[in-house]
Amino acid sequence: MTRVLVVDDESQIRRALRTSLEAHGYEVRTASNGEEAIVAAAETALDLVFLDLGLPDLDGTDVIRRVRSFSDVPVIVLSVRDRQADKVAALDAGADDYVTKPFGMEEVLARLRAALRRSPADQAEPATLTFGALAVDLGRRLVTLDGERIHLTKTEYALLEALVTNPGKLLTHQWLLRRVWGPGYANESHYLRVYVRAIRRKLGDHASAPRLILTEPGVGYRWIGDESPQPAEPPPSP
């Protein structure tokens, strides 16, 4: 079932959207402020977010930017703000669409379906990602460098997989910890330092002159090996 998060500080709007979306077969979660929305996006496998901009704690554009630091989930803004500057700011922050209140439910549903069709989650992931001499076989969980197998522990591989499947994105400490270790490890950033150091050593990367993993001090890590990884070419037929 498609899982949707509705973020709005007005309870009647949350109820109305929830009722209509559930009637059309969607699973709906709600949040009344920006911090709740960010936590929900980090801890829940969401397919789409409806987001109001006028939240009591954070502006909606800030919520979009923070969510975009760790997720590609489609975000559709539902806002009373109708100025072009507001729409451009939200879209530049990473929103996928913008609907002005008041809105018709049929339009909202149509925008939802269109966003889901565009979602990267619907696209097949290449079986193997290559970054120069480095190849990560996602299907077989196999890593090679210059054709030689690199032996990684289960945790090291899970962390590397999280990085290489999100190239160029700033992945926060909290997102990586939840992704690799689980929701109870959001504050153990020292785990990341130890494991990133081990991965760098095995891949010949260096923190002082990174080619693969870039440290964003106090925030997280970014995979810079290649922001547009290429699927490995199959061997030629005999």
What residue ranges do the domains of the chain occupy? 3-122, 128-231
Is-above-0.85 flag for pTM?
no
Residue 48 three-state SS = strand
Residue 130 three-state SS = strand
Residue range 128-231 in CATH 3.40.190.10:
no
Cβ atoms 79, 60 nearer than 8 A: yes
The answer on pLDDT for 238 being more than 80 is no
Beta-bridged to residue 131, according to DSSP, are: 134
Q: Provide CB contacts within 8 A for 168, sequence distance 6+.
A: 222, 223, 224, 227
Report the distance separating Cα 101 and Cα 104, nearest Å. Answer: 9
Report the distance separating Cα 30 and Cα 10, nearest Å. Answer: 11
pLDDT tens string 142-191: 999 999 999 999 999 999 999 998 877 777 788 888 888 877 776 777 88
Q: Measured on CA atoms in the order 166, 200, 150, 228, is the torsion positive or negative?
A: positive
Tell me 128's DSSP state.
E
Helix segments in 47-184, DSSP class H: 60-68, 84-93, 105-118, 154-164, 173-180
Residue range 3-122 in CATH 3.40.50.2300:
yes
pLDDT tens string 102-138: 889 999 999 899 888 766 544 545 578 899 999 999 8
